[in-house]
Amino acid sequence: MTEPTAAPDWAFSPDQNLKCPDCEAAVAGLNWKHDTTGLVAAMDLVPCGHELSTDVWELKFSGRDRRIGTVIRTPTFVRKG
């Protein structure tokens, strides 16, 4: 029996059109990276592999979108001030 492919911590629909801010690749998901104290230190983007530090970037959900047949919050990466 084969092992299932590891799923990312968070997955995003292609309809959400979330892009990597470094390379503009479509983001299918992300894995949270933790520091030695257990706090979230970065987001590892799937499939491009870019790592966004949570000191610099945050994942925000804003607005509402009805593209996939239901009301959803639209995800985006925002550079912190």
Domain boundaries, the chain: 11-79
Res 70: pLDDT? 66
Q: Do residues 28 and 51 make contact, with C-beta atoms less than 8 angstroms apart?
A: no
Decide: pTM greater than 0.85: no
Contacts of residue 26, defined as CB under 8 A and 6 or more positions apart, other chains included, come to 14, 17, 18, 19, 20
Phi and psi (nearest 5°) for 30? -150, 155
pLDDT tens column, 29-52: 999 999 999 999 999 999 999 999
pLDDT-flagged residues of the chain (< 50): 1-2
